[in-house]
Structure 1
């Protein structure tokens, strides 16, 4: 039996893929610009045609059945191969291609944006598309060439390249440091403002202060944001001291827009990696982006190692 005869229509695969990826008929309808009932009818036709339930209806929504998961894996793999073929054709005809990267908003803003003009000058035929992750860059990634992920070394399912070991430091603007002084272990912390990221974070200020053997009780002011990019912006604006992850604030440290507010640097032994699925080969534009990104990171690590951004503990 041919694929054409195995389906009620070719459009059924697009409808199924959207519903399975979004786990919602309503959201799939919005993405496809059709009604929710149209999505439901198409899924029903597909299930009747192949004589199998693809979704399990629950009181809280829908879930893929075992058969549904098998079909979804096959469909997404096929769609990715089609996308790769189209990008390859475009590349052969001089159109370059688009490379998609899943990463945190903070890394995109503070690492990529300052380098974007240089990247575009070096690779004028390659477009970058950022798929932003809210919060910590962990979890699965789909339909992208690369992802920047925390502590995801190479395994059977992923290719992985270390970008930077995880380091966390207290950072502030030079103006703030000049007016308020350093965050020293024997200093009066009450004159400082600490900038926090709200919610559950792996390394909150309490842990950093404890690791640095600073006073357990902080009597100063606190400023809290729900987005890490705003935490960094507050430090840049001289509003207080923030915890800076090395791979995010490295550019600002190098440009002296931020300085270390204390000599202590927390090294967790973990790292941030550039990762790609092992299920498909990298396209030529993606390889160029990977090599450029790793080269930029290597140069940055070397520059940070040979410069002194820390203050003395006094």
Structure 2
């Protein structure tokens, strides 16, 4: 009999055991560190034994934990090989597989794919999501869309979009008993933070925006953090608080009025979006077609956002 195994918890535990770090495991899995910790704890409770010895700097598997981690690694590796083989059999010359972070896929890419389908009905797009912090195997995807500084050795790297940063909120927060009109008014509102970020020395945070604009942030009424960018956007649109808006991901909501920019100060983000692919991929016609399309889409969005930002600054 095969047990009804908690696969999400097993995968999280294996990542912690391999990295020796809950934080690194969370980065790999694209979730918050607290979620990984909860998965490991629930697995230990399910088994009735400790699996990880937690330390201040590093965490190590116990003897039972090491046995289990090795078994999970071997099993998932075999499953991965079989899945890749099955996917390769399904893929034909017309399918383009794109690898990107789920937040970017949900917010930016999905709404625009219909225009690609209309323009190129001979091609099919398949999306695979991951943390977006690494390269990818040729069997996994044809093109990666990555967020960071563009450092992906061994791949062709092409800039897709730069981004600017500014606080954003729902229009309802501009009114009410504590209207958001000045920077000091942030003290009466919830600050929404995006936990997802690549490992770099500079991150597009609230603190970065304040430093670059020469301002001092008041202590917010409360802070809410999310490990998925689409959750940050949804909470902000619902009026749950004020978020640091990253232009490619908030421009559509700003344009249709779901979000507003309460302050005019905008700064250039230290990170950008990049197209990443194996060196020889550009010679394939389907890849060249997609790269040309998505580059044109990104350029058009950046022009629209620049125009919108200009109007906000002049209001």
Q: Tell me the TM-score range normalised by the shorter chain.
A: 0.5 to 0.7
State which of 156, 159, 163 in structure 2 corresponds to 1:159. Answer: 156
Paired residues of 2:281 and 2:287 also in contact (CA < 8 A): no
Task: Determine the C-alpha separation between the residues in 2 that align with 1:270 and 1:198.
Answer: 15
- Mapping for residues 1-314 of structure 1, pairs under 5 Å: 24-31=73-80, 90-91=92-93, 97-134=94-131, 137-143=132-138, 144-153=141-150, 157-179=154-176, 180-182=178-180, 184-185=182-183, 187-198=184-195, 202-308=203-309
Runs of 4+ aligned structure 1 residues displaced above 6 Å come to none
- Which moves more between the two structures, 160-169 or 197-206? 197-206
TM-score (norm 2): 0.64
Task: Determine the C-alpha separation between the residues in 2 that align with 1:205 and 1:121.
Answer: 39
Task: Determine the C-alpha separation between the residues in 2 that align with 1:306 and 1:216.
Answer: 27
Deviation per CA, 1:81-120, whole angstroms, max 9, x where unpaired? xx69x96xx55xxxxx111111111111111122122222
Superposed CA RMSD: 3.5
Structure 1: unaligned runs, 5 residues or longer:
1-22, 35-75, 92-96
Secondary structure of the structure 2 residue equivalent to 1:264: coil
**CA distance 1:258–1:216, shift in 2 (3 Å):** closer
**CA distance 1:100–1:200, shift in 2 (3 Å):** closer
Task: Determine the C-alpha separation between the residues in 1 that align with 2:239 and 2:185.
Answer: 19
Paired residues of 1:151 and 1:272 also in contact (CA < 8 A): yes
Task: Determine the C-alpha separation between the residues in 1 that align with 2:196 and 2:274.
Answer: 24
Shift in Å at residue 207 of structure 1?
3.3
- Which moves more between the two structures, 301-310 or 167-176? 301-310
Task: Determine the C-alpha separation between the residues in 2 that align with 1:192 and 1:253.
Answer: 20
**CA distance 1:32–1:151, shift in 2 (3 Å):** closer
Aligned length: 237
Larger Rg, first or second structure (1 or 2)? 1
TM-score (norm 1): 0.64
Structure 2: unaligned runs, 5 residues or longer:
1-71
Secondary structure of the structure 1 residue equivalent to 2:266: strand
Paired residues of 2:191 and 2:220 also in contact (CA < 8 A): no
